[in-house]
Amino acid sequence: MKIKLLLTFTMISAMTNIYAQQKLNPEIEKKIDVLMSKMTIEEKVGQMNQYNGFWDVTGPAPVGGTAEQKYENIKKGLVGSMLTVRGVKEVKAVQKIAVEQTRLGIPLIIGFDVIHGYKTLSPIPLAEAASWDLKAIEKSAEVAASEAAASGINWTFGPMMDISRDARWGRVMEGAGEDPYLGGKIAVARVRGFQGDNTFASPLRIAATAKHFAAYGFVGSALEYNAAEIGTNTLYNQVLPPFKSAVDAGLRSVMTSFNTVNGIPASGDKYLLRDVLKNKWGFNGFVISDWASIREMIPWGYSKDENAAAKSAVEAGTDMDMEGGIYVPYLIDLVNQGKVKQEFVDDAVRRILRVKYELGLFDDPYRFLDEKREKEIIGSKTNRETVLDMAKKSIVLLKNDQNILPLKKSGQKIALLGSLAESKNSPLGSWRIASDNNTAVSVLEGLQQYKGNALNYVKGLELTKTEPTFLTEVEYNTTDKSGFEAAKKAAKEADVVIMVLGEHGFSSGEARTRTNLDLPGLQQEFLEEIYKVNPNIVLVLNNGRPLTISWAAEKIPAIVEAWQLGTETGNAVAQVLYGDYNPSGKLPMSFPRNLGQVPISYNHYSTGRFTNKDNNVFWSHYSDVDKTPLYPFGYGLSYTTFEYSNLKINKNSFAKGEKVEVTVNVKNTGKLTGKEVAQLYLHDEFASVVRPVKELKGFEMVELKAGETKTITFTLTDAELGFYNNQHEFVVEPGTFKIMVGGSSDAGLTSQFDIK
């Protein structure tokens, strides 16, 4: 009877569990068994405790006390990890204590925010996403991993994979934008870049963290650290897919988020962490809280005190406490008093030790600590070449009337305006703790390398009152127009005016929500004043999020979205402006016409009154502005042009599980070689849960010489055709599917097929 029951149960789970579980290495598991059998409860909970290092701070005041107190606690075996300790010398100092002065010699795992590079900085992640170039993105993460690893770090708190449609939220700069399909592909590329083949055979690969689990990109009003109230449809079909893809790719850690998800703080959310992530998806790495987020369950009004916070977090499945100071002082007693089951602690410790074993830290705790390697790798020439390549690919050409771009190589008088043009700091972006200030190649320096034109740089407007820092608010200049006249004079005398405007690099990122997406400070006025004297303007935007630039989009002939592109910014911008690189980027987030449209995304639902068929007011629209975005998701121009034709599907009707093959011809109809990202969007016309009007389900980058045509094939499988219904089941439903193919989410060619 027992056997029969067991068999039935196994059969049912085999049938219903469509989720692949991450694989365990039996040898490592045995070693963990032996080690854990020797550990006291104090040592176990110690593994679950993470302290900040001694200088850089990335959150509220750290709780671990002085350096001496932290050293003492490491000696007692009460610390499993440190964050933001960096450099071979510094890491060795703490690792030595853990390995040589504790009873069991368990090594620390050293975490760090390697978000868009370590010392050599890549473009901000949102910019990288604009490249739609998965290989380049993987390579960029690999460079970041190698520099961090060479500096003694074994684990990054990235990639961030929070989907967001709200450009007010400062952290959109850290993600891949608004779309879960693109976001999922990029998440996997980044995990691979950091982790390599997941064996960590090379000491230049580090464990990655998917963050922030979950729904942080949907915080109410885009207010930082706020509540996220989010329905099943959005949670399962928009928020979770990139995390699931990353887990399937072998991801080793997950970070919780600061927000609540439908009323439960994410660090105490048993459903998300234990039921979905660990059990359903079979994730066997470990979960780290975000900074102090376990403790913050108290002010949230979820946990009545520290004991309650510790209990909720460990039971929910938060394995390590980042800077909350909650587990060590409370969890040990809770277990000793029988108030928290030992098995929760054991599960957490096993996961943490597993990743330490996988990283090879038990074989050689000093394997990441080689001063020679540190010197050779960090800032190397090849790393700079990689980030330059990434930077060029991240630039999006938004407008280019009368082919004002590319600039001629000689004989032009160019005026360069705006203090961002000379900034060597802002282009480094927001997350760059290990990098030195003022180390980017500025746009001015980049342009100066082209000697054929007369380049006249006049600042004209100082962007900020003082130079901002990672820890302070950016204060924009709202009063000083004293440079306007000199700038106007320079503009008048020029053939082309390049204006570098936008946000300071520290204007986006954590805790940088804005309630206004216009060009900050006096920049709009500056732009309009210059336009009056010479409208032949190339506007180069530096920003960490979509901005509202409707005036510029109407008046300014050329607009180049250049984000914050990292160390090689100026070289990348100059090569694009001069046509040595033909821009190929496409927007990973919609640009709204005005703030009232935000949150906005291309993959919205239809509504019952989607079009104005009766020509009266009772339809889904805004009274004062078109409901479409200014620039849609997936949009971006090139110095050449492309034409799509001959869209074909291999059959009209398919059985479930069959592959759908879509082909289309793309022709370069312009005069220059260029790259195009061909995109396929899908609409499931009728479903048990309404589906978005379109969803990206395939993209392919193709390089074409002038006049050349290539045929692209997209393959759609159940993974692309299905969706999660409100019972959280992934289903492919029979019916008609429409496809749209083209160079943006406004894709023009359409066709359809049926699933029987």
* Catalytic center residues: 290
Nearest of 513, 526, 515 to residue 552 by alpha carbon: 526
Could you give the CA distance from residue 323 to residue 335 in angstroms, rounded to a whole number?
21
Q: State the pairing for strand pair 496-502/660-668.
A: unpaired
Cis peptide preceding 266, ω within 30 of 0? no
Is 158 or 742 the residue whose CB approaches ligand NOJ more closely? 158
- 374 vs 510 by CB, closer to ligand NOJ: 510
**Total binding residues toward ligand NOJ, as defined by CB under 6 A:** 8
Binding mask 286-315 for ligand NOJ (x = CB under 6 A): ----xx------------------------
CB 471 within 8 A of CB 428: no
N residues, the chain: 756
Q: Is 599 in the site for ligand NOJ (CB under 6 A)?
A: no
The helix/strand/coil state of 396 is strand
If the CB atoms of residues 56 and 700 are measured against ligand NOJ, the closer one turns out to be 56
- CA-closest candidate to residue 312, choices 328, 329, 332, 295: 295
Q: How far is the CB of 702 from ligand NOJ (least distance, A)?
A: 35
- The residue among 158 and 521 lying less far from ligand NOJ, judged by its C-beta, is 158
Question: In this complex, which beta carbon is closest to ligand NOJ, that of residue 106 or of residue 160?
Answer: 160
Minimum distance, C-beta of residue 111 to ligand NOJ, in the bound complex (Å): 8
Which of 63, 454 has the CB closer to ligand NOJ? 63
What is the Cβ-side half-sphere exposure of residue 570, based on CA atoms within 13 angstroms? 21
For the bound state, the minimum distance from the C-beta of residue 93 to ligand NOJ, rounded and expressed in Å, comes to 21
Parallel, antiparallel, or unpaired: how do β-strands 709-716 and 660-668 relate? antiparallel
Smallest distance from ligand NOJ to CB 52, Å: 8
Helix (H) or strand (E) holding 737: strand 735-742
Question: Which CB, 121 or 398, lies closer to ligand NOJ?
Answer: 121
Candidates 589, 595, 593, 588; CA nearest to 517 is 595
Residue 113 binding ligand NOJ, by CB under 6 A: yes
Q: Cβ 595 to ligand NOJ, closest distance in Å?
A: 25
User: For the chain, how far is it from start to end, CA to CA, in angstroms?
Assistant: 41
The answer for residues whose C-beta is within 8 angstroms of residue 492's C-beta and 6 or more apart is 533, 534
Helix (H, G, I), strand (E, B) or coil at 478: coil
The angle subtended at Cα 56 by Cα 52 and Cα 57, nearest 5°, is: 65
Q: Is 510 in the site for ligand NOJ (CB under 6 A)?
A: yes
The residue type found at 301 is G
How far is 303 from 103, CA to CA, in rounded Å? 34
Task: CB nearer to ligand NOJ: give 113 or 319.
Answer: 113
Q: How far is the CB of 697 from ligand NOJ (least distance, A)?
A: 29
Give the integer Cα–Cα distance in Å for 144 and 136.
Answer: 12
Could you tell me the smallest distance in angstroms from the CB atom of residue 146 to ligand NOJ?
20
Closer to ligand NOJ by Cβ: residue 434 or 741: 434
Helix (H, G, I), strand (E, B) or coil at 686: coil
Determine, following the binding rule CB under 6 A, whether residue 319 of this chain makes contact with ligand NOJ.
no
Q: Cα–Cα distances in Å, from 199 out to 41, 360, 560, 744? A: 30, 9, 41, 38
Work out whether 211 is an interface residue with ligand NOJ (CB under 6 A).
Answer: yes
Radius of gyration of the chain (CA): 27
Among 51, 118, 132, 157, binds ligand NOJ (CB under 6 A): 157
Distance set, CA 620 to CA 220, 616, 630 (Å): 23, 11, 18
d(CA 656, CA 646): 26
Closest separation between CB of residue 590 and ligand NOJ, Å?
Answer: 24
Of the pair 157, 457, the CB lying nearest ligand NOJ is at: 157
Q: Please, which residue, 195 or 744, has the CB nearer to ligand NOJ?
A: 195
Is 698:211 a contact under the CB 8 Å cutoff? no
DSSP 124: P
Of 738, 747, 719, 753, the C-alpha closest to 650 is 753
Question: Which CB atom, from 253 or from 597, has the smaller least distance to ligand NOJ?
Answer: 253
φ/ψ of 296, rounded to 5, equals: -70, -5
**Measured at CB, which residue is nearest to ligand NOJ?**
58
Query: According to CB under 6 A, which one of 47, 50, 58, 638 is a site residue for ligand NOJ?
Result: 58
> In whole angstroms, how close is the CB of 544 to ligand NOJ at the nearest point?
15
3-state secondary structure of 701: strand
How many other C-beta atoms lie within 10 A of the C-beta of residue 379?
Answer: 16
Q: Find all residues with CB under 8 Å of 387, minimum gap 6, and list them.
A: 117, 120, 121, 122, 123, 140, 143, 566, 567, 568
The contact pattern for ligand NOJ, residues 11-50, with x = CB under 6 A and - = no contact, is ----------------------------------------
Min. distance of Cβ 648 from ligand NOJ in angstroms?
A: 45
Q: Which of 19, 28, 41, 59 binds ligand NOJ (CB under 6 A)?
A: 59
Report how far residue 45's alpha carbon sits from residue 220's, in angstroms, rounded to the nearest whole number: 34
Q: Which two tokens stand for residue 325?
A: 């100071």
- Cβ-in-10-Å burial (0-12, 13-18, 19+) of 34 comes to exposed
Least distance CB 431 / ligand NOJ (angstroms): 9
Shortest Cβ 628–ligand NOJ spacing (Å): 33
| 529 scored as a contact of ligand NOJ (CB under 6 A) | no
List residues binding ligand NOJ (CB under 6 A). 58-59, 113, 157, 211, 290-291, 510
